[in-house]
């Protein structure tokens, strides 16, 4: 999948590496859109640790819409999505990925994933994995559309309450032409 299918506009978000000022926005988006009904694992402290961890790659999508009342220009951008990915030696794991409700189905999720996949290829990663809640059909459709396949299911993975579907995408080696 490539970014060519992205529906862009002049207000389309840009993707960049997360920094410490993004911590609370990431944690809150995770709380509301991913961890709903579960204990809050990705608190601001946990997100801050991830941003500072050399094995984690945290990307954010930011837009100039909905400016925050701050002083410098970078911090005025509003966070509208993020992807937090663990990088191992040959394998990467998508811990969290979310896009704000008001900007979904405009290609931002795919762009965040493409950004991470580009980094993963550069780092020599051969395959990506993730877990997704069994009830989260939208995310399953999203990941399938982005080339992931179902690997197996883990019973009661989430707080002993809800099953997880484990998905995988192999990264084909790209040769320079
Ligand atoms: C899953 C999520 C990240 C997708 O982000 P998005 O920016 O809306 O996704 P995109 O616009 O890039 O969608 C790419 C493709 O995925 C599929 N897709 C995305 N959302 C879908 C939905 N709700 N239902 C069916 N298919 C969907 C479509 O094929 C879509 O292409 P199309 O719009 O041309 O039909 C977003 O819905 C989200 O943040 N959900 C809540 C958090 C979450 O569940 N995260 C995943 C678990 S960690």
Ligand 1 in contact with 13 (CB < 6 A)?
A: no
Of 4, 29, 129, 138, the one to substitute when testing ligand 1's pocket (max ligand atoms within 8 A of C-beta) is: 138
**Predicted pLDDT at 9:** 55
- Contact call for residues 73 and 83 (beta carbons, < 8 A): no
Distance, in Å, from the CA atom of 94 to the CA atom of 98, rounded to the nearest integer, reads: 11
pLDDT grade, residue 1 (50/70/90)? very low
Phi and psi for 148 in degrees, rounded to 5? Answer: -85, 150
**Contacts of 125 by beta carbon, 8 Å cutoff, 6+ apart:** 87, 88, 90, 91, 92, 171
**Predicted pLDDT at 121:** 95
Q: Would 153 be classed as within a structural domain?
A: yes
Q: Would 4 be classed as within a structural domain?
A: no
CA end-to-end distance (rounded Å), the chain: 19
Domain CATH code at residue 109 = 3.40.630.30
The mean of the pLDDT values for the chain is 90
Q: What is the pLDDT of residues 82-97, one digit of tens each?
A: 999 999 999 999 999 9
Q: Would 25 be classed as within a structural domain?
A: yes
CA-nearest residue for atom 5, ligand 1, is 109
Q: Would 176 be classed as within a structural domain?
A: no
**Domain that residue 79 falls in:** 13-170
Phi and psi for 97 in degrees, rounded to 5? Answer: -155, 125
Q: Would 6 be classed as within a structural domain?
A: no
Q: What is the number of structural domains in the chain?
A: 1
**Predicted pLDDT at 4:** 43
DSSP state of 174: P
Task: Tell me what the mean pLDDT of segment 45-72 comes to.
Answer: 84
**Predicted pLDDT at 23:** 98
CA-nearest residue for atom 22, ligand 1, is 138
CA-nearest residue for atom 29, ligand 1, is 145
Least confident stretch, 17-26, 68-77, 131-140: 68-77
Report the percentage of the chain scoring pLDDT > 70: 85
SS3 of residue 17 by DSSP: strand
DSSP state of 42: S
Q: Would 57 be classed as within a structural domain?
A: yes
**Bridge partner residues of 150 (DSSP):** 167
Q: What is the pLDDT of residues 90-141, one digit of tens each?
A: 999 999 999 999 999 999 999 999 999 999 999 999 999 999 999 999 999 9
CA-nearest residue for atom 28, ligand 1, is 142
């Amino acid at each position: 999948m490539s970014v060519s299918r992205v529906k862009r506009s002049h207000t389309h978000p840009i993707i960049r590496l997360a920094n410490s000022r993004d911590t609370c926005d990431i944690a809150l988006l995770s709380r509301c859109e991913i961890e709903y009904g579960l204990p809050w694992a990705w608190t601001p402290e946990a997100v801050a640790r991830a941003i500072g961890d050399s094995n984690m790659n945290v990307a954010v999508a930011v837009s100039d819409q909905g400016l925050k009342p701050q002083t410098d220009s970078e911090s005025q951008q509003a966070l509208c999505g993020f992807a937090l990915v663990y990088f191992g030696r040959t394998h990467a794991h998508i811990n969290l990925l979310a896009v704000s409700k008001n900007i979904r189905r405009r290609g931002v999720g795919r762009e965040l994933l493409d950004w991470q996949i580009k980094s993963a290829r550069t780092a020599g990663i051969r395959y990506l994995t993730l877990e997704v809640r069994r009830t989260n059909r939208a995310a399953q459709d999203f990941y399938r559309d982005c080339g992931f396949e179902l690997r197996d299911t883990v019973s009661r993975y989430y707080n002993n309450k809800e099953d997880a579907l484990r998905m995988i995408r192999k990264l084909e080696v790209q040769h320079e032409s």
